[in-house]
Structure 1
Amino acid sequence: MKYLFFCICCVLGLLACNQNKNYAPKPRGYFRLEFPEKAYQLFDSNAHYSFEYPQYAKMYLDSADGNRPNWYNLTFPAFNARLHLSYYKIDSKKKFDELVEDSRKLAFKHTVKATGIDEGLIEVKEHNVYGVFYTIDGNTASSAQFFLTDSTRNFLRAALYFNEKPQPDSIQPVVDFIKTDIDRMIKTFRWKP
């Protein structure tokens, strides 16, 4: 009797353990992003420039200490992102060279955490708009920066920041979405006389 009971327990134990279950942890999930439909409006205020920006973004004067006139922030509330716009009047060749070098240094300051920094030339000859666009890849605070100039009187620098801890894998779709808005901004950018 003991032998029969032992055999039945062994058979049941082997059958119970023979189920092929995979107990591997599931990969981390991310929120599904809902992007608004693209629609643009004209930014044309007392600044020395104008351009089109998305209707789902908000433009306001930068009120932080030490900021100058014509410094603006273009915020994307749905994405917790901000594009800082800094305008400078060029009064000499030396000032122009300093502004270009400062823009390059600020972009390459992210080299410590960046996996790559690409520079792209901006040329819209018919509207006298020139510059450089910096695409910064990796776990950095800023993923896109650029400057625009007419090379003689006006200079605008811009940097995109998120009010989040940088996580490139989850933020990349938003960066790509906002970069199309930045591209539209650059293509519609005009200097005022």
Structure 2
Amino acid sequence: MKNKLAVFVLLIVFAVVGCKDENVMPKPKAMLRLDYPIAKEALLETDYFSFNYNNRATPIIKNQSAIVVDYPSMKGSIFVTHKKVNGNLNKLIADAEKLSLEHMKKADNIEPRTFINEENKVYGTYFQIIGDAASQSQFYLTDSVQHFITGSVYFYSKPNYDSILPAADYLQGDMRAIMETLRWKN
């Protein structure tokens, strides 16, 4: 009985001495930090237009009207397509806007922004798509007379907005650079 009492007292002493009165703080949630390199621009030229692109990407020229700016390390691409305007500008714009709005089924929001570069006669709209849609951003550009271009960002994975957000932001910046540096050829 004395042994049981001694063990019990010893356990209480260890419990009292072992417990320190410290403020226990929960660990903050960790977030993955992805830093992408600053883009260095390279020039891409076709028969119809030229633009600057990120030299970390690989341009794949399918033909003079279809280009893929591929980012293998991010498993994503910017698809750029050119069409000639033949009195069908309103239809081309309607089709481009319809394509962007089709993502509304899965997207939380679509934010259109008008783009105007009067000096180089480049006009259009940039669509930022927020949510689990297949494309995170799209645009169309035109000179209103001869040329019409659409562009879309796609990733080679199931859409999960939170997971691809850093890469989507990076590619959206590159997409805006393409829009800002686009020049038409006659």
TM-score, normalised via structure 2 length: 0.84
Deviates more, 1:11-20 or 1:122-131: 11-20
Cα deviation, residue 191, structure 1: 0.9
Cα deviation, residue 111, structure 1: 0.9
Q: 1:116 aligns to what SS in structure 2?
A: strand
Indicate the residue corresponding to 1:172 in structure 2: 165
Indicate the residue corresponding to 2:98 in structure 1: 105
**What is the alpha-carbon distance in structure 1 between the residues aligned to residue 46 and residue 64 of structure 2?**
12
Moved runs in structure 1, 4+ residues, more than 4 A?
A: 12-22, 24-29
Q: Is the 8 A contact 2:46 2:64 kept in 1?
A: no
Which of the numbers 174, 181, 185 marks the counterpart of 1:188? 181
**What is the alpha-carbon distance in structure 2 between the residues aligned to residue 17 and residue 139 of structure 1?**
50
Cα deviation, residue 61, structure 1: 2.3
Summarize the Cα distance change of 1:35–1:135 in structure 2 as closer, same or farther, 3 Å threshold: same
**What is the alpha-carbon distance in structure 1 between the residues aligned to residue 78 and residue 71 of structure 2?**
8
**2:51 pairs with 1:51:** yes
**What is the alpha-carbon distance in structure 1 between the residues aligned to residue 28 and residue 163 of structure 2?**
17
**What is the alpha-carbon distance in structure 2 between the residues aligned to residue 36 and residue 49 of structure 1?**
27
**What is the alpha-carbon distance in structure 1 between the residues aligned to residue 40 and residue 53 of structure 2?**
8
Cα deviation, residue 16, structure 1: 9.0
Q: Is the 8 A contact 2:109 2:130 kept in 1?
A: yes
Q: 1:126 aligns to what SS in structure 2?
A: coil
Equivalent pairs, count: 184
| Structure 2: gaps (5+ residues) | none
| Structure 1: gaps (5+ residues) | 63-67
Indicate the residue corresponding to 1:137 in structure 2: 130
Which of the numbers 49, 66, 70 marks the counterpart of 1:71? 66
